């Protein structure tokens, strides 16, 4: 299992974990912030990864002001299918809303 501390490159770490198939744990997420833990856009990204994979296990643990995330992924299950997801505009995600997908049949 890969282990990291802090929220820097949070989505990139999760994405690389997904692509390589390796489990990841991220501890001490914004531990010194007045509002520690995950932000809404990060939780949304975790839900997206759960939706795109079979057998995904996300564990979010909170101990006082500390929060950690563990992610164990299954296989990517939506290759060749169309998925719509509403993205947050925070955290450098530029898509404000998901659009309906066109199917392969036209």
Task: For residue range 46-59, list pLDDT tens digits in order.
Answer: 888 888 777 788 88
Task: Check residues 67 and 9 and name the one with the higher pLDDT.
Answer: 9
pLDDT the model gives residue 41: 85
Whether the per-residue pLDDT at 18 is higher than 60: the answer is: yes
The mean of the pLDDT values for the chain is 74
Domain ranges of the chain: 2-72
Assigned CATH topology for domain 2-72 = Translation Initiation Factor IF3 (3.30.110)
pTM, rounded to two decimals: 0.68
pLDDT the model gives residue 88: 52
**In angstroms, rounded to a whole number, what is the distance separating the alpha carbons of residues 93 and 106?**
28
């Amino acid at each position: 299992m890969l282990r990291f501390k802090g929220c820097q490159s949070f989505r990139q770490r999760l994405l690389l974990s997904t692509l390589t198939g390796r489990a990841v744990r991220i501890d001490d997420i914004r531990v010194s912030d007045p509002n520690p833990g995950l932000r809404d856009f990060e939780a949304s990204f975790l839900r997206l990864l759960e939706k795109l994979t079979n057998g995904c296990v996300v564990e979010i643990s909170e101990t006082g002001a500390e929060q950690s995330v563990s992610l164990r992924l299954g296989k990517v299950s939506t290759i060749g299918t169309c998925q719509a997801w509403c993205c947050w505009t925070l955290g450098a995600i530029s898509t404000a809303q998901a659009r309906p997908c066109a199917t392969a049949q036209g």
